[in-house]
Amino acid sequence: KISEDVEKLELDPLIKHPLQNRWCLWFFKNDKSKDWADNLRQITSFDTVEDFWAVYNHIQSAGKLASGCDYNLFKDDIKPMWEDERNKTGGRWLASFDKRGGKGIDVDKLWLETVLCLIGEGFDEESDVVNGCVVNVRGKGNKLSVWIGDYKRDEVVLKIGRRFKERLGLPPRFQIAFEAHQDTIVKRGSSAKSRFTI
Amino acid sequence: DDQWSPLNQEGKKQYDRTFLLQFQPDCTSKPQGLPDIPDIVLEKADVRPHL
């Protein structure tokens, strides 16, 4: 009899696999006629593996988004903007795929790998410092980033960067850069001074 | 390992990509309450194969 219960429990589709965190998916569409914050829309939030896939399977793939659109996936209580309390003192690891370097890069695959890493707590003990991830779809080159809540903790930042790069499967010579959000406000030219590149 | 499962509900909610990917094909019922954003919200599930 025991094995029957075990069998039933294992296969019971109603028992969903809980995620460590509840995550919220946001969509940003660049509409110059509207205020920036109004262009940012919350799609939904989820906290189980099955609910994540139900959402993912029902939204357009990143690669098909119009240039100027973003997907943001953040922990449920964190807004996808550096002004948010938990982003203010943070930064982001940024992978930029410009036209040359971006050839042959499958933005859908890399975005999904990044998302699976976050929702699956793929950063191990560092996972609690990871706030979210963003894919910016841009004609001049797509960008993927992982947002961290505290830019000052060097080893934690570097460990997260290495794991992010490893999960993306990027060749060693492809560099990703870490920028503190506050540095990106005081921009010289188009790019902020990055604190690390690996 | 000590991963969460229906039989080990105290286990760690940490899942690697291979484990997560196996659930993708079965989750095809549309979630409730998705906003009306025609650009991105699909009516029917589009289970894109992922290598």
Burial A97-127 (b: 16+ CB within 10 A, else e): beeeebeebebebbbbbbbbbbbbbbbeebb
CB contact under 8 A, A50 and B4: no
pLDDT value at residue A81:
95
Residue ranges in chain B whose pLDDT is less than 70: 51
Chain A residues with CB under 8 Å of B29 CB are: 54
Q: How many CB atoms lie within 10 A of CB A139?
A: 9
Chain A residues with CB under 8 Å of B8 CB are: none
Under DSSP, is residue A12 helix (H, G, I), strand (E, B) or coil?
coil
d(CA A176, CA A194): 10
CB A160 within 8 A of CB A129: yes
pLDDT value at residue A35:
87
pLDDT value at residue A54:
97
Residues of B engaging A, defined by a Cβ cutoff of 8 Å: 4-7, 12-17, 19-21, 23-24, 26-31, 33-35, 37, 39-42, 45-48, 50-51
Q: Say yes or no: ipTM exceeds 0.90.
A: yes
d(CA B51, CA B31): 25
Q: Which of A46, A49, A61 lies nearest to residue B15, judging by beta carbons?
A: A49
CB contact under 8 A, A17 and B28: no
CA atoms within 13 A on the CB side of A10: 6
Cα–Cα distance list, A134 to A26, A50, A57, A94, B19 (Å): 9, 21, 18, 9, 23
Percent of chain A scored above 70 by pLDDT?
A: 89
CB A11 within 8 A of CB A41: no
CB A129 within 8 A of CB A146: no
CB contact under 8 A, B27 and A57: yes
Q: Of A178, A36, A25, A179, which is closest to residue B31 (Cα–Cα)?
A: A25
Residue ranges in chain A whose pLDDT is less than 50: none
pLDDT value at residue A2:
65
